[in-house]
Amino acid sequence: MPRGNGKFLSMLPVLSFLGYLLFSCVICAAMTGDARLLKLWFVSSPVLIAAALTLAKIAGNPDTGA
């Protein structure tokens, strides 16, 4: 089975997810001009924390991921 190496490859799924969150939640909310939608970010804090922890774990040990 092919195995990828390196931190970047290991982080790719998390970065893709965060990229989508940045576009579909942050940028789209900002474009509406409705500040309430930006302030609503905290309801997604579990997934933001999980993404941050995953990146930190991979940064500490790249073999953790891919």
Partner 1 sequence: MWKDLTAPEKRVVGIIAVLLGTVVLFSTILHHLFPRVLDVPSIAGLSFTSYRAMFLLDLIPITLGALCFYHAYRTLGLYKASVFLGGSFFFTGLMENMWVLMGRYHAFSWFSQNLDSVTGTYYFTRAFFWWGEMPMVICLGWFFIAYSLVYMVGVLIPRSSSFLRAALAGFLAMSFDLWFDPVQVSPLWQSWRWLSNETIKVFSIPLSNFAGWFLFIFIFAVAFDRLPRILEKWGTGKGTLMFFLTLLLYKAGMLLLLMTYGAVAMKYVSPPVNFTIWGI
Which residues are near partner 1 by CB under 8 A? 1-4, 9, 12-17, 19-21, 23-25, 28-29, 31-34, 36-37, 39-41, 43-47, 50-51, 53-54, 57-58, 64-66
> In whole angstroms, what is the distance from residue 45 CA to residue 41 CA?
7
Q: How far is the CB of 40 from partner 1 (least distance, A)?
A: 5
- CB of 30: closest distance to partner 1 in angstroms? 10
Give, in degrees to the nearest 5, the angle at Cα 55 between 54 and 61: 90
